[in-house]
Amino acid sequence: MKLVKDVMVSDVACVSPFAKLREALSLMKKHSVKSLVVDKQHPNDAYGLITYTNVLKTVVAEEGDIDLLNVYDACAKPALSVGKSLSVRQVAAMMTEHRVKRILVLEDNDLLGFVTMDDIMAVLLEQVE
């Protein structure tokens, strides 16, 4: 059985919680990603996650302004997280239970990366071929 460390993405784009939503969208576009990790404000704080869905909900559905709202206004914080030695099966169960597509990978509250539903599906598809 594969572990989180075998499938996780360690090259993660981060954004300040105090950045404007326009800056977050610009970073997403620059890195060609659909989500960003929201930095901790201090060592004992939690990481957050901002996704296209968060931005759509805040800006489009609630008529917010990307130049006035900060990342912390739209992000999910604390973000769900797991350790690198957890089995991919357990992460998949968490994703379906909490209806999320991304989970952060932490070690002692330090960011190692994240794992996505696509990463897990790639493992499953390898078994099908």
**pLDDT at residue 33, rounded to an integer:** 93
This prediction has a pTM of 0.88
- pLDDT tens per residue, range 62-80: 777 889 999 999 999 999 9
Residue-number span of the structural domain to which 74 is assigned = 4-126
Return phi, psi of residue 69, to 5°. Answer: -85, 140
Q: How many CB atoms lie within 10 A of CB 69?
A: 18
**pLDDT at residue 59, rounded to an integer:** 84
- Here the CATH number for the domain that contains residue 93 is 3.10.580.10
Return phi, psi of residue 98, to 5°. Answer: -95, 0
Angstrom distances, CA of residue 34 to CA of 12, 18, 20, 102: 11, 19, 16, 10
**pLDDT at residue 129, rounded to an integer:** 62
